Amino acid sequence: MRWYWVDKFIEFNSGVSARAVKNVSLSEEHMHDHFPGFPVMPASLMIEGMAQTGGILLGEKNDFVYNVILAKVPKVEFHSLACPGDQLIYSATLENASEEGGSVKVTATVEDRLVAEAEIVFVHLSSDDPQLSRIDQKNFVFRMNLLDILNVGKIDGDAESSATA
Amino acid sequence: MASSEEIFEKVQETLVDALGVDDDEVTSEATLIDDLGAESIDFLDIVFRLEKNFDIKIPRGELFPENLANADSGFVADGKVTEDGIAQLREKMPHADVDKFAEDPQVSKMSDMFTVDMICKFTASRLG
């Protein structure tokens, strides 16, 4: 399973804030188990999407020299549901960034409706840190392949100009 | 300059947010790990929140020194911190109650120095 929980970035202010889109679709396998007859986007995967948005924002600030690891979610609140057809917008702002890690505040909205809000703390581990081998990298480390998200919609740098050309 | 009550109240609020504890649990003497259930990752969160709430900079290792009690630090013998180690603690952690720790300097009790009061004193020293 691919572990992309955002589809593309729509705004990126380096070191400050980022906005990403997650289109919720009935073609996603897990929606049929969560829940049978009542498909809603799992809250845990929204946290993952918010963490990917904020983690890439933090990673980019340091030119991706660190492995950015989701360490703690001190606060998360869910206010409403996201259903198939909804477009979630994850808006992250970088609250802290240091050599050791960073923290972000993120909201998830569908149009004007607030779906969730969270605070997320990340730590940095260098690639030769022995602790890194103990972590399931697929799920917890923002590896370079996740950065493919930054290129979504960019053909020769700009999808819209290519499409209209 | 903020009064010590003001600093305590802000530190209390910081710890309530970072550790999800009730404000009445955050007493001056409470230890972060044993009493308030802090884990290693919480220390980074606490540092971030203190920096924000007090508008101060806390360089890495100043509030919560790292590696002081590692086996290869040279400051540990028979599970106890040596006199050199205690001297090092006094230098690196002037905001902590090293005297109390020195009475029975077992490495396993080092975390008892990390108290709410320690954070308040550290913060007060930063606010000058």
How far out from the chain centre does Cα B31 lie?
8
In a domain, A142, yes or no: yes
In a domain, A13, yes or no: yes
User: Between residues 10 and 49 of chain B, which touch chain A (CB distance below 8 Å)?
Assistant: 17-18, 20, 41-42, 44-45, 47-48
Residue A143 sits in a domain whose CATH number is 3.10.129.10
Contacts of A72 in chain B (CB under 8 A): 41-42, 45
A34 is catalytic: yes
In a domain, A1, yes or no: no
Asked if A100's CB is within 8 angstroms of B44's CB, the reply is yes
Q: Quick check: bond before B43 cis, omega within 30?
A: no
pLDDT-flagged residues of chain A (< 70): 1, 131-145, 155-165
Does position B5 have pLDDT exceeding 90, yes or no? yes
Contacts of A98 in chain B (CB under 8 A): 47-48, 60
Instruction: List the domains of chain B with CATH numbers.
Output: 4-127 (1.10.1200.10)
Q: Tens digit of pLDDT for each residue in B65-122?
A: 877 767 677 788 888 999 999 998 999 899 999 999 999 999 889 999 999 999 999 9
In a domain, A52, yes or no: yes
Q: Which ipTM score applies to this complex? A: 0.84
> Looking at the complex, does the CB of residue A99 fall below 8 Å from at least one CB of chain B?
yes
Domain boundaries, position A26: 8-164
Instruction: Please enumerate in sequence order all residues whose Cβ is within 8 A of that of B91, keeping only pairs 6 or more positions apart, or say none.
Output: none
Asked if B60's CB is within 8 angstroms of A98's CB, the reply is yes
Instruction: For residues A29 and A93, give the distance between their C-alpha atoms in angstroms, rounded to a whole number.
Output: 31
Instruction: For residues A23 and A88, give the distance between their C-alpha atoms in angstroms, rounded to a whole number.
Output: 6
Count of domains in chain A?
Answer: 1
- A27, burial (CB in 10 Å: exposed 0-12, middle 13-18, buried 19+): exposed
Q: Which of A58, A66, A119 would best serve as a mutation to test chain B binding (most B beta carbons within 10 A)?
A: A119
Contact A49, A20 (CB under 8 A): yes
Q: Tens digit of pLDDT for each residue in B14-57?
A: 999 999 999 999 999 999 999 999 998 999 999 999 999 999 99
Report phi then psi at B126, rounded to 5.
-70, -35
Residue B102: C-alpha distances to residues B89, B105, B111, B115 (Å)? 10, 5, 13, 16
In a domain, A3, yes or no: no
CA distance A42 to chain B (A): 24
Q: Tens digit of pLDDT for each residue in A28-54?
A: 999 999 999 999 999 999 999 999 999
